[in-house]
Structure 1
C-alpha cells in the first residue's frame, strides 16, 4: 500500500501544469526511483514514497534528473560535515535559534496552492554567541521536514524574505564566504525545493557590500526574482505577501513571531527520532570526495538561494 499523501485539488493542478505530473503514472515513477536507489552501492537513501516523490517533483518528473539529484543530495550532505554530523533536532543550540526567531518559517502557505514563506532575520542574534553555520543548520532541518510533510513547499516552492534590520559589520565578519559557497552548491544541486522569490527588507547602508559576497553564486534563472521592498517592516511586505500569513510584527494577521517559534520548537522535538535515523542514510566515505568537485553551480530542477539585485 502506498504511503504517499494525496495532494489537494489546487496542488494537483499545479503539479500537472508546472511539474509534468501524471497522476496515474506516479506510482510507477516512484517505484522505478526506489528500485534504482536500493541498488546503489555508494550511498544509502531513504526510500519512502513521500521522500522520493519530492525528488521527482523537484525535477519535473524526469527520472534521470531525479536519480542525479538524489545522489547529489547525499553526496553534498557528506561534504558538509559542519552541518550534517550529529545533526539533532532537539539540540538546545538549534532550539534557541528558533526561540529567538532568527529563522521564521511561516506556518501557512502563500495561498491555498502557494509557496511557503521564510523570514530570515540575521541581525537579531549576537554573532559572538551563535554560529552562522548553526543558523544554516536550522534551515536544513526545516527543509528536510518539508520534504516529508509539506506539499506546498515541494510542489509550489519557497519564498525567502531577508530582513536586514540591525545587521552590523560584525555580523558580516562572521560570515564564512567559502562555507556559503559550499552550502549554495549543495542547495543548488541537491535540494528538490524550488526557489520562487527572494525579498530584501530593511536594507542598510552598504548593502552593496553584502550583496557582492553572494553575487558570484547567482543562477541565471534567478535574475528577475529579487525584490528590494521599500518602507518599514510593518508594511514593506504587504504588496508581495498575504497579510493573513505574515506575523503581527510585520503588520500581518498570522499570529505572533513567538507563536511561530513555539510551533517550530514543538515540530523539531517531534522529529527527534527521525534525525537520529538520518545517520543511517549517508554517502559512503570512500565516494564522498571523489565526485564532489564535479558538483558545480548547475541547475537540476530547482533554483538557487541567492538573487541578482538591480540598483537605481
Structure 2
C-alpha cells in the first residue's frame, strides 16, 4: 500500500486496497509479475511506445485492476484506450484547467472522498447551481468529468463508479440540451477504453419531466448500463444504494458539502502537480502510423453506425 500514491480528496485505506485485490484474487507478487509482463509487451508495441514512456507507473496498476486483474485483458484495454482517446479528441484531449473556469460557475461535479463501503465504488456527485440551468453544456460536462476521472486514476483504487445527478435546480431546458451522441461516445470510452464498471446512475429530486430526460439519456447508453439507471423519489430509497456515512450533509450524510468539495477540487486542479498530469494525459494516444497490423478496426469496440442511429424527439 505504501508504494501507491495517495490523495486526501480520494481517500483509499489499506483495507480498501485489500478488498479490491481480494475481489480479483490478487496479491502483491502476482500484481508485480503481471505489471512486468504488461510492461514488456507495452514497450514492444510501436504504436504505443511513446505512451508507455509517458505513463506514471501507478497508472498501469489502476488499469490492470480495472481489467479485472487479467494480463491479456489489460493489453486489450490499453490498445483500445489509447486508440480511442485519439479518435475522440472532443471528449478527452487538448485540455487545460482554465477551459473549465466558466463551467464551475454553473456546475458542481465532485468525487466523494470515501468509497461506498457496500461495493467499493467511487461516487461522483453532480449538481446544477441554482439559477444556472440554462448554461448547461453537455460537451463541457463530459470533458470535465474525464479531466477529473483521469486525474483520479493516479490515486484511486475502487471497483467501479456510481454517478449521482441532483436535478433539483434543473429546468426543461436541460432536456433540450442533452446530446445522446456525446453521451454514447463518453460511455464507450469510459467502459470499453478505461474499463470503468458503472454500477449505477442515480437521479435525485426528480422534476416533472424526468421521464423525458431518462428516455433521452437511455438512448446514449448501452443496455447493461441503461438498466442501472435509477430515479430515487426519496433519500431513504437512495440510502439503500449509497451509504449515508460517505454522503455530503445535504443528502443526509456525514461528509462535507458538495460546495466545499468543489472548492477543494478547484484548488487541486490548479496545482503544478495536476497541470503536469493533465499535460501528459493530452499526449496519451496511439501513433496509428506505427501500428504493425495496419489501421485499427473501429468495429473492435463497436462505434461505427452507433452514433448515426440515434434520434431525439
Q: So what's the TM-score if we normalise by structure 2?
A: 0.80
Where does residue 154 of structure 2 map in the other structure?
148
In the TM superposition, what are the counterparts of 1:131-146 in structure 2 within 5 Å? Answer: 131-146=137-152
Look up the match of 1:173. 176
Q: Alpha carbons of 1:123 and 1:285: their partners in 2 closer, same or farther (altered >3 Å)?
A: farther
User: 2:191 maps to what in 1?
Assistant: 188
Counterpart pick for 1:27 among 26, 32, 36: 32
Give the distance between the partners of 2:84 and 2:302, measured in 1 at CA: 11
Q: Deviations over 1:63-93 (max 9, x none)?
A: 11111111111111112111333211x21x4
How far apart in 2 are the matches of 1:191 and 1:27?
A: 20
CA contact (8 A) 2:151 2:278 kept: no
**1:196-215 to 2 correspondence within 5 Å?**
196-215=199-218
Partner of 2:80: 72
Partner of 1:119: 125
Q: Give the aligned length.
A: 289
Structure 1: gaps (5+ residues): 298-312
Check the 8 A contact 2:202/2:229 in 1, yes or no.
yes
**CA gap 1:241/1:145 in 2 versus in 1, 3 angstroms:** same
User: Is the alpha carbon distance of 1:247 and 1:12 closer, same or farther for their aligned partners in structure 2, counting shifts above 3 Å?
Assistant: closer
Distance 1:211 1:72 in 2: 29
Cα distance change of structure 1 residues 125 and 95 upon mapping to structure 2, 3 Å threshold: farther
Change over 3 Å in CA distance of 1:18–1:184 after alignment to 2: same
Structure 2 match to 1:308: none
Task: Please tell me whether the aligned partners of residues 77 and 84 of structure 1 are also in contact (alpha carbons under 8 angstroms).
Answer: yes
> Contact 1:106–1:116 (CA<8 Å) still a contact in 2?
yes
CA distance in 2, matches of 1:125, 1:86: 30
1:1-312 equivalence runs, <5 A: 4=4, 8-43=13-48, 44-45=50-51, 46-88=54-96, 90-91=97-98, 93-98=99-104, 100-111=106-117, 114-122=120-128, 126=132, 129-151=135-157, 153=158, 156-222=159-225, 225-231=228-234, 237-270=238-271, 271-284=274-287, 286=289, 290-296=296-302
Cα displacement (A) at 1:129: 3.9
Residue 203 of structure 1, CA deviation: 1.9
RMSD over aligned Cα atoms: 3.0
Q: CA deviation at 1:219?
A: 4.4
Answer yes or no: is the 8 Å Cα contact 2:247–2:254 preserved in 1.
yes
Q: CA, structure 1 residues 12+260, in 2 after alignment: closer, same or farther (shift >3 Å)?
A: closer
Contact 2:4–2:155 (Cα < 8 Å) also in 1: no
TM-score (normalised: structure 1): 0.80
Using the alignment, how far apart are the partners of 1:144 and 1:202 within structure 2? 29
When residues 257 and 274 of structure 1 are mapped into structure 2, their CA distance, relative to the original with a 3 A threshold, is same
Contact kept in structure 2, 1:11 and 1:113, CA below 8 Å: no
For the residue of structure 2 that corresponds to 1:60, the secondary structure is: coil
